[in-house]
Structure 1
């Protein structure tokens, strides 16, 4: 599961996926990776407070393709490789889940309130927040820096300026 170290990026994904016109509220989930890893008992294998990189042997040992079935179904927080422009732009981090048949959603664990917080965003605030994020430079192109998105960004700006008709 993808996460971001940037609150504005998390907010962008929450409000972008929401459809304000149907009155659906949005939500941002806030994760404490240190507390999650303590709950997983990852601190038994790495220093307390340390978030391992996905490439480290300890991550592969418990979550890799040859990992043994664990006594826990709880995920752990890891840092991904910064080898992709999207991961860098989105300040991406991840939770990795053990290899089990039925994955339990993170918010369904009995201790989830210790490391997970849900912030609700009222539907009537979504369009205002989208506009504010754009003003701060948090746009689809900023988070997905590729040619398709730059073309979409230019077209959107031209439509907003009235230089081309909207669809």
Structure 2
């Protein structure tokens, strides 16, 4: 079973994160974090938790390509960049967002107005890839062109150059090939999921690995945790990097 800890303040949270980092012998970027606004939500991407079939996934992507091309604001240099863009703009994909920053993950865990416990997952992405690809490295699509590190088989069929069907079963960790201001600000990264609807934490548990942890924020502590994040400068405008979020931050700061 995954080790679970409960914290009620940001200092306690950061102390725990530093303790995990020291235990794992990790540097910045070696540990990934995912904040979730409901404890009962699993570590599954949109296509999986929505139970979207492979054929419907292909239809969604085709619709995005047909109707959205004229709206693209960025140059697209590879299919992974295009797939990341779909995730960024809210299309259900097999990409699951993570961050290299524990504070940013805490923000996402606390963002929604839900009267429930929240959670931040802490993961070693190198161990995930060692489990599922037998390589202790994080893959970079488009740059990793060697056969043994080629992750293109994880792409949906409609985005594959060879039009083959994805047959990869388990998730792996990848660096985003698509970087805009928001992804950079959020220190974003992904797990990309295969054919099986199996949460990320199950990969570690099945292999008796402790390189994933669960940190819970009790609902009674949410107000305190949010206030402490704001004092540290982790606010909606710093996360989303647009004028709408700046306006929201200014309104909230003058309440």
Aligned to 1:53: 140
Aligned to 2:122: 30
Aligned to 1:79, which of 175, 187, 193?
175
Cα distance between partner residues in 2 of 1:59 and 1:132:
42
TM-score by length of 1: 0.78
| Gapped regions of structure 2 (runs ≥ 5) | 1-95
Aligned to 1:141: 237
User: Structure 1 runs of 4+ off > 4 angstroms?
Assistant: none
TM-score by length of 2: 0.53
Q: How many residues align?
A: 148
Aligned to 1:3: 98
RMSD over aligned Cα, in angstroms?
2.1
Cα distance between partner residues in 2 of 1:142 and 1:113:
37
The structure-2 alpha-carbon separation of the partners of 1:39 and 1:132, relative to structure 1 and needing over 3 Å to count, comes to: same
Aligned to 1:41: 133
Deviation at 1:82, TM superposition (A): 5.4
Deviation at 1:113, TM superposition (A): 6.1
Q: What are the Cα deviations for residues 104-125 of structure 1, in whole angstroms up to 9, with x where unaligned?
A: 2223444276242211111111
The answer (yes or no) to whether the contact 1:86–1:144 under 8 Å persists in 2 is yes
| Gapped regions of structure 1 (runs ≥ 5) | 160-167
